[in-house]
Amino acid sequence: MIELNWTFFVQVLNFLVLMFILNKILYKPILKVLDERDERIVGGQTQAKELTTESEKIFESYNGKLQVAKIESLGIKNSARKEASDEANVIIEEARKKAEVIISQVQQDMAKEIDRVKKELEPEVGIMASTIAQQILGRKVA
């Protein structure tokens, strides 16, 4: 059987003192370091989540601005094309009008030249006709 004598109480007291000392020197500092480490990990994870959320917002904002810029550039491009097309049509129309004026002028000049040549050749037509008739008929025509 187990005897309870003063050594048992000394060992219990010794055990309690050792537990107190170990608790103060070893356990509490280790637990404190572990708690701080857990807090840093949780803080790091929270910060990582916040940065991820912020980066997603920035990315979405960037994509939105990029989309708006694309739409604006398409609008500007289409506007420039329409403007260029309108300007080309104006230039073509002006060229067409100038060509019509030139053609009309040339036709008038040709009509005047034809009239002038007819007037020059009118007195000689009779002579030419009799010369041609003589050559065809082989005799002199009166």
**With contact defined as beta carbons under 8 Å apart, do 58 and 50 qualify?**
no
Q: What is the pLDDT of residue 8?
A: 81
Question: Does the pLDDT value for residue 141 go beyond 70?
Answer: no
Query: Per-residue pLDDT tens for 85-115?
Result: 999 999 999 999 999 999 999 999 999 999 9
How far from 74 is each of 61, 79, 97, 104, CA to CA, in Å?
Answer: 20, 8, 34, 44
Query: Per-residue pLDDT tens for 18-65?
Result: 999 998 998 898 999 999 999 999 999 999 999 999 999 999 999 999
Residue 135 pLDDT level (bands cut at 50, 70, 90) = confident
How far from 3 is each of 6, 11, 52, 110, CA to CA, in Å?
Answer: 10, 13, 67, 151
* % of the chain with per-residue pLDDT over 90: 68
Q: What is the pLDDT of residue 73?
A: 95
Q: Mean pLDDT over residues 61-75, rounded? A: 95
Locate 15 and state its tokens.
Answer: 């055990």
